[in-house]
């Protein structure tokens, strides 16, 4: 099993930037910073309102690894499964879960917890428990990759 590199300074800086961004979005627009909600504003029937902000957010989300690589001169490596049915199923489940839960992990976990929202606390506990069970099942029951 491959170990993940310990990067406390980069992780703290990234967390601080996420926090500052979430606070700025709330202060300047009154909106909660959740990725599913922001991306949803680009799609019908909500696509007419908030396209500039949502579009800028999605562009920045996609450009961040490129900017990181340019500044650090390190390639950003992300492993993605080549199993298309698995990826489609996972995407549908995540989308359905975000809709059912009234938001995504970033909206509930970052903004909801900081506001002490009971709904977000429960949602985040469910996300985390599901992630732990999924990792255990994939790694130890069905023998998937680490």
Looking up tokens 């506990």 gives: 125
Q: What pLDDT shows up at residue 49?
A: 63
Which residue, among 79, 56, 77, has the nearest Cα to 68 in the 3D structure?
77
From residue 30, give the alpha-carbon distance in Å to each of 33, 42, 66: 10, 18, 29
Q: What pLDDT shows up at residue 71?
A: 92
Task: Tell me what the mean pLDDT of segment 55-62 comes to.
Answer: 87
Percent of the chain whose pLDDT exceeds 90: 16
Q: What pLDDT shows up at residue 48?
A: 61
Task: Tell me what the mean pLDDT of segment 58-86 comes to.
Answer: 87
CA distance 69 to 105: 26
User: Does the reported pTM lie above 0.75?
Assistant: no
Query: What are 113's two structure tokens?
Result: 């917890």
Q: What is the pLDDT of residues 95-140, one digit of tens each?
A: 888 888 888 888 888 888 888 999 999 999 998 998 899 888 888 8
Q: Can the peptide bond before residue 45 be classed as cis, meaning omega within 30 degrees of 0?
A: yes
Q: What is the pLDDT of residues 126-135, one digit of tens each?
A: 989 988 998 8
Q: What pLDDT shows up at residue 47?
A: 60
Q: What pLDDT shows up at residue 3?
A: 60
Task: Tell me what the mean pLDDT of segment 85-91 comes to.
Answer: 86
């Amino acid at each position: 099993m491959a170990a993940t590199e310990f990067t406390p300074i980069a992780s703290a800086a990234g967390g601080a930037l996420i926090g500052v961004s979430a606070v700025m979005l709330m202060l300047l627009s009154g909106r909660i910073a959740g990725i599913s909600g922001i991306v949803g504003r680009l799609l019908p029937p909500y696509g007419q309102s908030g396209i500039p902000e949502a579009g800028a957010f999605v562009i920045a989300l996609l450009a961040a690894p490129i900017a990181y690589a340019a500044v650090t001169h390190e390639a950003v490596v992300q492993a993605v499964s080549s199993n298309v049915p698995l990826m489609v199923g996972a995407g549908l489940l995540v989308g359905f879960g975000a809709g059912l839960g009234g938001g995504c992990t970033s909206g509930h976990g970052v903004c909801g917890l900081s506001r002490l929202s009971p709904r977000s606390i429960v949602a985040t506990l469910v996300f985390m428990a599901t992630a732990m069970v999924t990792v255990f099942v994939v790694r130890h029951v069905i023998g998937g990759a680490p």
